[in-house]
Structure 1
Amino acid sequence: MDGEPKKFYHEDDFDSRHYLETFFSDKPDMDFAEDSLKFPLMNSHYIFSSGFVKGDVLIDVSFASFIHHLYPACDIFKDIIILKLNERCNMETSRWKDTRTGCFTWTHASAHATKLEGKSEQIQDKEVQLKTAISHVISCDFDNENITYPVVLPLADCVTSGLMLNAISKDEDDYMRNLDKISKLLRPGGHLILAGLLNASYVINGGERFHLFKHDESFVKNALLKLGFVIDYCAVQRRRNESKLTDYKAVMCLTACKTK
């Protein structure tokens, strides 16, 4: 199966809305809720409520158009900048932020986030809070050393990245280059929150097979150590569903502090 031809998220047409409907919706038959929604939110809530991740500016550079992991972050960060590599993903995210007709709804994720906070009655307030905190949704390009060229962003106090390195990295060296570019968005002493799929080689979206870079937990940790990070927290959850749409074995979320 690994030998079958695959498309690349950043090079080929990727249907962002179909991906959200398949992997992140509130439909009763959506098989991925435990791994794609609840696990990231639980860890995000723990990390941001623990108090060791602080600051003013957060930059998110994540795969596709999901934003649910940012609900706990908006309690701390009042300036959230979202980077999107795929133009369709950029448009989908902006459509949600601006509450345009037909936008993807994240109310179910907001409800889970407020439940974790013990504020289940404040779902709409949480929606408004996050949308207000997001100051920009801009395009990025990993072919550039500064991925937001020609825009120069302030160094962030926190960078979050979900699944992006899985999707765009073709091999180990490519992963290191891409991770280094993400780390350059972060100030020394700031925190990187990295979420990814372990031992995954593909995801099927809209009937098309897309590449995922296959790696394990040790590889990610060693890559971070080589770039001068100290790992503060790591959680791994074994896959909770059965589906031929993707072949990952586990999901991981970790936090690491940039020391230099």
Structure 2
Amino acid sequence: MDSGSYKIYHIHGFDSRQHLEHYFSDKPDMVFEGDLLKFPIENLTKAFKPGHLRGDVMIDLSPGSMIHHLYAPSEFFKHIIVLKVRDRCILELKKWLNTRTGAFEWGHATKIHVDLEGKSTQLQDKEAKVREAAQHVAKCDLEKENIMDPVILPPADCIISAWLLDNICKDKDDYIRYIRKFSGLLKPGGHLMLVGALGMTYYTVGKDKFHAFTYDEDFARKALVGEGFIIDTFVSRKVTGTSPLVDLKAILFISAHKEK
């Protein structure tokens, strides 16, 4: 398939359940556990562990119906506002939040988190904490100046965005434009945490291939600094699992704060 015919997540959408099954399940042939589950959980846990990142409002801007990146912040924020660009992803996520029959099973990811905290007996408590914090799930339009128009979002203490920019950006200008938009949603001194994919040009969901924005570490650093962020943590590593589903080369975690 020519890259020009790849679909684009926020325009065409994908089957959110298939996306979870491909990349985040506990199936024996799922090769991404270390890269897509453990890596973000470990780095977000480290970032929040000191306890200085806390507040009233956190915004999650991530694709699909993932929840594993919300374990760590659910301990430190009263309200997690989860924003999605596709209705189907909202429906799939709400199945889990509302403990409905047929919801995706996240127990394997929850175990990774509680084991890191040394609290392996608290699986149900951790999931309950996420459900309690993430009660605000809504659709947004990233192309609007106010992405929740006509609703005005409260300034956030923190934004987490896992792999969204990789999925929606066409080029470097797009990436910078969205970083600027994220900055506008943050309080002065607020934190932005990004989980990203390096060297990726496509990923597959079901029978469809989707576009991925290709960039490197140097560009990511310059984009954040150029938009007034101070980088606190920058971690990248080559992927440990490979699959024809995606040509991912490396994974990235950045924690930065907005200058006051």
Q: What TM-score does the superposition give when structure 2 sets the normalisation length?
A: 0.97
* SS of 1:63 mapped into structure 2: coil
What does residue 23 of structure 2 align with?
23
* One-letter code aligned to 2:102: G
Q: 1:176-229 deviations in whole A, cap 9, x for unaligned?
A: 111211221111101000110001110011110100000001111101011100
Give the fraction of aligned pairs with identical amino acids, expressed as a percent. 48
What does residue 174 of structure 2 align with?
174
What does residue 128 of structure 2 align with?
128
Q: Are 2:51 and 2:76, in contact at CA under 8 Å, matched by a contact in 1?
A: no
Q: Are 1:146 and 1:181, in contact at CA under 8 Å, matched by a contact in 2?
A: no
What does residue 7 of structure 2 align with?
7
What does residue 165 of structure 1 align with?
165
What does residue 201 of structure 1 align with?
201
What does residue 253 of structure 1 align with?
253
How far apart are the structure 2 equivalents of 1:195 and 1:183?
16
How far apart are the structure 2 equivalents of 1:100 and 1:3?
38
Distance 1:245 1:4, change over 3 A: farther
Q: Which stretch of structure 1 is more off in the superposition, 227-236 or 170-179?
A: 170-179
How far apart are the structure 1 equivalents of 2:112 and 2:126?
11
Q: 1:13-57 deviations in whole A, cap 9, x for unaligned?
A: 311100000100011211110100000000011001023322221
Q: Report the CA distance between 1:161 and its aligned residue.
A: 0.2
* One-letter code aligned to 1:253: F
Q: Are 1:90 and 1:137, in contact at CA under 8 Å, matched by a contact in 2?
A: yes
Q: What are the ranges of 5 or more consecutive residues in structure 1 without an aligned counterpart?
A: none
Give the root-mean-square deviation of aligned CA atoms. 1.2
How far apart are the structure 2 equivalents of 1:139 and 1:44?
24
Q: Are 2:3 and 2:211, in contact at CA under 8 Å, matched by a contact in 1?
A: no
Q: What TM-score does the superposition give when structure 1 sets the normalisation length?
A: 0.97
What does residue 61 of structure 2 align with?
61
* SS of 1:188 mapped into structure 2: strand
How far apart are the structure 1 equivalents of 2:48 and 2:96?
23
Q: Are 2:229 and 2:258, in contact at CA under 8 Å, matched by a contact in 1?
A: yes
Q: Report the CA distance between 1:9 and its aligned residue.
A: 0.4
Q: What are the ranges of 5 or more consecutive residues in structure 2 without an aligned counterpart?
A: none
